[in-house]
Amino acid sequence: MTAMRVDAKVVMLGKESVGKTSLVERYVHRRFLVGPYQNTIGAAFVAKALNVGDKVVTLGIWDTAGSERYEAMSRIYYRGARAAIVCYDLTDSSSFKRARFWVKELQNCEEHCKIYLCGTKSDLIEADRSVRQVDFHDVQDFADEIGAQHFETSSKTGKNVDEVFQKVAEDFSSCALEFMQEEKGVDLGQKKDSYFDNCCHN
């Protein structure tokens, strides 16, 4: 039924205009669009395959709209997600508050979802240190507390962007490996049992 083979569902979350779409745009299309800000409508889905070691992992990335109007819908986007990239704007402290909200939401509803905190627009900080409103160490402490990874990225320069998604894919891959081995063993045994059940007892 599923149209494309997607290994891992990844969801982008965060306040509006923090740059979720730009991050995806940079990663998938390798470009940064300059121009008036355009908000995402609903959510956009893109699939992207990448190499992890000698394997290919396909990430299904859900770029969600940050607008409050879609909040009620956000559940359908992050349900079953293996990773959530929670974005905040390094130059906007209120966006980090919003990031905390999403983290809490995920902890409550999707405990198997790995969280990646991602501070965006780091190029602005490099140009002028005084515009930083979210302290690196504060976020690092928060990340340690919730067991999340922490990155600071710039979609404009491409800094750290690939690293975030690469890390997501690697984590998924190593995690999936464990899952698969376990399941294989159990699966075989189960099949045997059920086979005998069907033949002998009926």
Partner 1 sequence: MAADVHNKGVSWEIKNGNLAPSDRLRQDRSDSPTPGLVEGTEPGAGQEGAMFVHAQSFEDLTADSESNTDNKSAEVGDSNPENAQKAALEGGEEEVQEESLEAEQEEVGKEEVQSSNKAKEEDVTSETWRSHRKHVFVLSEAGKPIYTRYGTEEALSSIMGVMMLLMSFVEDKKNTIRSIHADGYRVVFLRKSPLILVGVFRTSCSDRELTRELHYVYYQIVSLLTLTQLNHVFQNRQSYDLRRLLAGSEHLTDSLLRLLDRDPGLLLSAVMCLPLASSARDVVSSSLQAAKAKNLVFSILLAGNRLVTLVRKKDQFLHHMDLHLLFNLVVSSSSFREGEGWTPICLPKFNPAGFFHAHISYLEPASDLCLILVSTDREDFFNLSDCKKRFLERLRRRSAYQSLQEALNMPSYPVSQVGIPELRHFVYKSKSSGLYTSPDLPAPYQEEEEHERLMGLYQHLHSCLHNPTRPLRYIYRCAETENLYALVTSGFELYLCFSPLGTKGLAVSAVNKLLKWIRKEEDRLFILSPLTY
Using the rule CB under 8 A, which residue among 12, 18, 40, 118 binds partner 1?
40
Query: Minimum distance from CB of 37 to partner 1 (Å)?
Result: 6
Region 48-67 residues binding partner 1, contact defined as CB under 8 A: 61, 63, 65-67
Query: Minimum distance from CB of 20 to partner 1 (Å)?
Result: 11
Told to check if 99 binds partner 1 by CB under 8 A, we report no
Reduce the secondary structure of the chain to three states and give it as a string: CCCCCCCEEEEEEECCCCCHHHHHHHHHHCCCCCCCCCCCCCEEEEEEEEEECCEEEEEEEEEECCCHHHHHHHHHHHCCCCEEEEEEECCCHHHHHHHHHHHHHHHHHCCCCEEEEEEECHHHHHHCHHHCCCCHHHHHHHHHHHCCEEEECCCCCCCCHHHHHHHHHHHHHHHHHHHHHHHHHHHHHHHHHHHHHHHHHC
* Closer to partner 1 by Cβ: residue 8 or 148: 8
Q: How many residues bind partner 1 (CB under 8 A)?
A: 32
Query: Minimum distance from CB of 46 to partner 1 (Å)?
Result: 4
Residues that bind partner 1 (CB under 8 A): 1-4, 16-17, 21, 24-25, 28-29, 36-46, 61, 63, 65-70, 73, 76
